[in-house]
Amino acid sequence: MSRYVVEDEKHNVLVSPIADAGPNRNQVDFTLHPAAAINEPGESEGANVFAQASVVEAIGNDGEIHEFVVFCMFTCSRIEANEELLWNYGDGYQSMRERVGYEAGSPCAEELIDGLRLPSPRGRVAAVLRDGRRVADALYELTLSGSDSSGEDWEPVKRRRR
């Protein structure tokens, strides 16, 4: 499943869909993991979406404050109905490109991304927490490393497989 992994090095978080264990073994359920369906643009194409990782503090269903890393996808150009979403996976994906033998197209222009006013992911985090069904699939919880809450060293909370 390494070809579907998304990494946020800043917060030491790897996100990977869990492969189907049934008759479609080693295939991704795109209903549960829709970002895995976003392909990279070909060599002569450009991306029309980009990802941004954010840390959101929210009150969890247990009434306690939690920190979550969330990955949001945004468009960087107009996308027509039924048009494919294309996302340049970044430099960290180069070894996978070499393994399967292709050149990726360009990412969304940094100048364009920098000029966008992006919505806060807080509302989406609150909605996921309220709904409660997909919390473990959609939110990546962080915890302070050690007991000193004044620092900025965060680690992912251990996730369980289902």
pTM: 0.73
Each residue's pLDDT tens digit, 80-127: 999 999 999 888 888 889 998 999 999 999 999 999 888 889 998 999
Each residue's pLDDT tens digit, 34-68: 888 889 999 999 999 998 888 899 988 888 899 98
**Token pair 């006013």 in the structure block, residue:** 117
Whole-angstrom distance, CA of residue 157 vs CA of residue 145: 10
Asked whether the beta carbons of 77 and 87 are under 8 A apart, the reply is: no
Whole-angstrom distance, CA of residue 85 vs CA of residue 82: 9
